[in-house]
């Protein structure tokens, strides 16, 4: 157990730099079952590992001096630590990614089609859909492979291109999963 704690403070993987240890993050928890007429109790103290035993943690002692030993024998004390900073950072990261994804999803499914319709009218939309579908020629594939390795457009074009490709991929995936039920059903 000692080695555990020492390596833990040294190594906090991803979050190592973000977090400094909080004094709230260690506890010694003693669970004492019912004894004679004393009810079961849970004691928590913020003590170090070597002090984590019944005598240091159980305060006030519910029994008289001569029974302390018998009472303490039944108690189970466990030293535990957590990293509240890790939890906080993780939850914040998770929620921000989720939020961004939701925003992007709303944009993709609602705002963008609306904008497109307003800007280009209906015909354009249909045509761009056709573009995606009509890519079935045997040599078009080779064309794709080769053009991927040759064209070196500027940054903005690249992003645009990558986005288009991603979209086509997702559409393809959607078709195979939800419509044709070819994979993953």
Partner 1 sequence: MEEEDAAADPYLPYDGGGDTIPLQEIPRRGSNYAMSNGGGAASSTTHLLDFLEEPIPGVGTYDDFHTIDWVREKCKDRERHRKINSKKKESAWEFTKSLYDAWSGWLVVTLTGLASGALAGLIDIAADWMNDLKEGVCLSAMWFNHEQCCWTSNETTFAERDKCPQWKSWAELILGQAEGPGSYIMNYFMYIYWALSFAFLAVCLVKVFAPYACGSGIPEIKTILSGFIIRGYLGKWTLMIKTITLVLAVASGLSLGKEGPLVHVACCCGNIFSYLFPKYSKNEAKKREVLSAASAAGVSVAFGAPIGGVLFSLEEVSYYFPLKTLWRSFFAALVAAFVLRSINPFGNSRLVLFYVEYHTPWYLFELIPFILLGVFGGLWGAFFIRANIAWCRRRKSTRFGKYPVLEVILVAAITAVVAFPNPYTRQNTSELIKELFTDCGPLESSQLCQYRSQMNGSTAYTDNPNQPAEPGVYSAMWQLCLALIFKIIMTIFTFGLKVPSGLFIPSMAIGAIAGRIVGIAMEQLAYYHHDWFLFKEWCEVGADCITPGLYAMVGAAACLGGVTRMTVSLVVIVFELTGGLEYIVPLMAAVMTSKWVGDAFGREGIYEAHIRLNGYPFLDAKEEFTHTTLARDVMRPRNSDPPLAVLTQDDLTVEELQAVINETSYNGFPVIVSKESQRLVGFALRRDITIAIENARRKQEGIMLNSRVYFTQHAPTLPADSPRPLKLRSILDMSPFTVTDHTPMEIVVDIFRKLGLRQCLVTHNGNMLGIITKKNILEHLEELKQHTEPLATSWYYHKKRYPSSHGSDGRPRSRVHHVQLIRSFQDGWGGGGCSEEEEEEEEVCLLKGSNL
CA distance 118 to 110: 13
- Residue choice 125, 146, 159, 162 for contact with partner 1 (CB under 8 A): 146
Q: How far is the CB of 128 from partner 1 (least distance, A)?
A: 18
CA distance 182 to 163: 25
x/- contact string, 5-44, with partner 1 (CB under 8 A)?
--xx--xxxxx--------x--x---xxxxxxx-xxxxxx
- Residue choice 18, 49, 102, 162 for contact with partner 1 (CB under 8 A): 102
Q: Give residue 144's Cα distance to chain centre.
A: 36
Binders in 50-79 for partner 1, by CB under 8 A: 74, 76
Which of 36/121 has CB closer to partner 1?
36
CA of 27: how far to CAs of 49, 81, 88, in Å? Answer: 9, 6, 18
Three-state SS for 38?
A: strand
CA distance 27 to 161: 54
The 3-state DSSP composition of the chain as helix, strand, coil percent (nearest 5) reads 65, 10, 25
Segment contacting partner 1 by CB under 8 A, of 115-123, 127-135, 138-146, 151-159: 138-146
Give the binding site for partner 1 (CB under 8 A): 4, 7-8, 11-15, 24, 27, 31-37, 39-44, 46, 74, 76, 80-84, 86-88, 90-94, 97-98, 101-102, 105, 108-109, 138-139, 141-143, 145-146, 149, 166, 169-170, 172-174, 176-185
């Amino acid at each position: 157990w000692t080695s555990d704690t020492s390596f833990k403070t040294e190594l906090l993987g991803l979050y190592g730099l973000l977090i400094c240890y909080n004094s709230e993050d260690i506890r010694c928890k003693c669970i004492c079952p019912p004894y004679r007429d004393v009810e079961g109790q849970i004691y928590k103290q913020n003590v170090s590992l070597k002090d984590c035993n019944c005598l240091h943690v159980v305060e006030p002692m519910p029994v008289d001096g001569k029974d302390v030993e018998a009472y303490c024998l039944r108690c189970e004390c466990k030293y535990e630590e957590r990293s509240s900073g890790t939890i906080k950072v993780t939850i914040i990261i998770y929620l921000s990614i989720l939020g961004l994804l939701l925003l992007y999803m709303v944009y993709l499914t609602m705002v963008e089609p609306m904008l497109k319709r307003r800007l280009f009218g209906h015909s354009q939309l249909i045509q761009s859909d056709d573009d995606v579908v009509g890519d079935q020629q045997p040599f078009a594939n080779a064309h794709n492979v080769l053009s991927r390795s040759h064209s070196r457009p500027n940054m903005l074009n690249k992003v645009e291109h990558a986005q288009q490709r991603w979209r086509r991929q997702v559409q393809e995936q959607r078709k195979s999963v939800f419509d044709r039920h070819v994979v993953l059903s």
